[in-house]
Amino acid sequence: MTPVTVSLPTPTTPTAPTAPPIAVEYPDSDGQPMAENTLQFEWITLIKENLDWLFAADPQVFVAGDLLWYPVEGNPKIRQAPDALVVFGRPKGYRGSYRQWQEDHLPPQVVFEILSPGNRPGEMSRKLLFYQQYGVEEYYLYDPDSNSLEGWIRQEGILDWIETVQDWVSPRLGIRFDPSADPLVIYRPDGESFVSYGERSRQAEQERQRAEQESQRA
What does the pLDDT look like over 99-127, one tens digit per residue? 999 999 999 999 999 998 888 889 999 99
pTM exceeds 0.75: yes
**Res. 61 pLDDT band, cuts 50 70 90:** very high
Please, where are the H alpha helices in the chain? Answer: 38-54, 121-133, 197-217
| pLDDT tens for each residue of 193-210 | 999 888 777 777 777 887
pLDDT the model gives residue 33: 83
Q: Can you tell me the mean pLDDT for 64-83?
A: 97
Share of the chain above pLDDT 90, in %: 72
- The CA distances from residue 68 to 8, 61, 84, 136, in Å, are 62, 17, 10, 15
| pLDDT number for residue 9 | 59
Q: Which of 23-27, 58-62, 211-215 has the lowest mean pLDDT?
A: 211-215
Confidence of residue 36 (pLDDT cuts 50, 70, 90): confident
Mean pLDDT lowest for which of 47-51, 57-61, 177-181, 213-217? 213-217
Residue with the bigger pLDDT between 161 and 119: it is 161
Closest to 165 measured CA to CA, from 185, 145, 189: 185
Length, in residues, of the chain: 218
Predicted pLDDT of residue 13: 61
What φ, ψ does residue 93 adopt, rounded to 5°?
Answer: 140, 175
Q: Exposed/middle/buried for 154, CB within 10 Å: 0-12, 13-18, 19+?
A: middle
Measured distance CA(33)–CA(21) in Å, rounded = 33
Alpha-carbon distance of 132 to 39, in angstroms, equals 27
Distance in angstroms (rounded) separating the CA atoms of residues 149 and 112? 11
Cα 187 to Cα 193: distance, rounded to the nearest angstrom: 4
Segment 4-20, tens digit of pLDDT = 555 555 666 666 566 56
pLDDT at 3 exceeding the cut of 60: no
| Domains with residue ranges and CATH for the chain | 38-217 (3.90.1570)
The C-alpha angle 119, 124, 125, rounded to 5 degrees, equals: 145
Between CA 98 and CA 100 the distance in angstroms is: 6
Ranges assigned E (strand) in the chain? 61-64, 69-70, 84-88, 98-99, 110-114, 138-143, 148-155, 158-161, 176-178, 185-187
Helix axes 197-217, 38-54, angle to 10 degrees: 50
- The reported pLDDT for the residue numbered 17 is 63
